[in-house]
Amino acid sequence: MWFTMNVILINYGVGNIFSVEYALRRAYLNVEVCSSLNSFGKADAIVIPGVGNFKIGAENLGGFKGNIIDLVRSNIPILGICLGMQLFFQESDECPNMKGLGLLNGRVARLPRNVKTPHIGWNNLKIVKYTEFLDGVDEGDYFYFAHSYYAVPSNPEITAAETEYGVRFTSVIVKNNVFGVQFHPEKSGKSGEKIIRNFARIIKR
């Protein structure tokens, strides 16, 4: 199968780039890893992975902000993974003075103190609305999580799935061409592969 769609995978120093790149290539996507604005090429889609601190992520991603916003406004699909999804929002309790990309209205909150954090391990989804992005995903499918914070969208209608861990939190968001997952599809076996392949189908339309 031809690798016809070009995905920009942004390497901003806080993501597990290699496993994400491999997962995207397995979905027959051409992946261009970009660590500077000068390396930005033609983009049919953007993927922002990420693990760790919101402040460091926002600072490192700051130089890409204008380019990302312009591409999303031109209807280019974007996928945020874990911290990458959290950075779509305006701000985080982890660092209240640091602004995210502002692609989505809302904030990022800390998981409750009565559960062990970070939330590391396998958990499933409660699907709250149908979306092509979750095509073939069942509520019994398990995904790999590693996080201490979660997104709180201002508009609950962008939540496509939720997960229970001390609180029921948004674990999948879909708004037009903006897609996000709190878990790591690249580490989630066959379940995660469904998500990546669905994203690939969406951008190939």
Tell me the catalytic residues: 82, 184, 186
Number of CB atoms found within 10 A of residue 3's CB: 13
Please give the sequence-ordered ranges of beta strands (E in DSSP) within the chain, or none if there are none: 6-10, 30-34, 45-48, 78-81, 91-92, 106-110, 119-124, 126-127, 142-147, 149-153, 159-164, 168-175, 178-181
Q: How far apart are CA 67 and CA 133, in angstroms?
A: 24
Q: Is the preceding omega at residue 49 within 30 degrees of 0, hence cis?
A: no
Interhelix angle for 17-26 vs 189-204, to 10°? 60
Q: How distant, in Å, are the alpha carbons of 30, 38, 78, 93, 110 from that of 176?
A: 23, 28, 10, 26, 26
Dihedral pair phi/psi, residue 11, rounded to 5°: -100, 100
